[in-house]
Amino acid sequence: MEYQPRSYRQQFNPARFASFTVQYLETDLWIGMDHASFRKEIAEVALHEVMDLRTRLDSYIHEFPPFGASLEPLKLFPGAPPEAQEMAAACTRSGTGPMAAVAGMFALRAAEKIRKHFPLQELIVENGGDYFLLLKEDLLMTIYAGDSPLSEKIGILIPAGETPCGVCTSSGTVGHSLSFGKADAVMVACASPVLADAWATALANRVKTPADIEPVLKYSEQFPEIRSLVIICEDKTGIRGNFEVRFIHSSA
């Protein structure tokens, strides 16, 4: 798989977050935390969890191949691993295949394992633009939208009091992930990165042109788990939800 540059990782202030990456097969995590909580052992714990989760999911896909291939929600047989059940539940809600939530699941499980073994004030686990967030102070996150003139010109303010939460982005024009839409970026905030990942994929699939932005915003209103939604398509944007959205002006 061709490497995709991850310039959006540069938005996090190194004075606030000590960070490292964890890579295994297709998974490439960026993990940031407050400097006081940083321990070099955290990287090893995260890597082992990524490897274990990959093994569990691969084993289940070998046993039940539709889980890895379906583009529609699936009903799982009893005995499916908890991760598969959570992914399937999120994607049943959003109307996508269960693998639409896989990046969010890796971010969530790595974060849970880290928090189980280490006390932290702040923690970010990012996987391909999908985030687990635990914050002590509010954080402004910019939205990368490829060639759109609005790319990195719009930011969503994540309130510390709303974390832990998940913030995920799907795109039909950026990256290698499957999308049936043409949105440059659809960012969704939910309580969990698994749910946010599923919804980002589902809503991005619905945006083919800028004219679709308003109907998709309206459609999303019936799902209260969507805390915030930002859609960018070409030079147009649509915003809905509880989190403050800011337009970022270049200092150049």
How confident is the model over 19-38, as pLDDT tens digits?
Answer: 999 999 999 999 999 999 99
Q: Is the pLDDT confidence value at 9 over 90?
A: no
The model's pTM: 0.92
Of 198, 231, 194, 179, residue with least CA distance to 94:
198
The backbone torsions φ and ψ at residue 134, rounded to the nearest 5 degrees and listed phi first, read -130, 115
Q: What is the pLDDT of residues 96-154, one digit of tens each?
A: 999 999 999 999 999 999 999 999 999 999 998 899 999 999 999 999 999 999 999 99
Please name each of the domains of the chain with its CATH number.
8-247 (3.10.520.10)
What is each CA distance from 36 to 12, 22, 122, in whole angstroms? Answer: 16, 20, 10
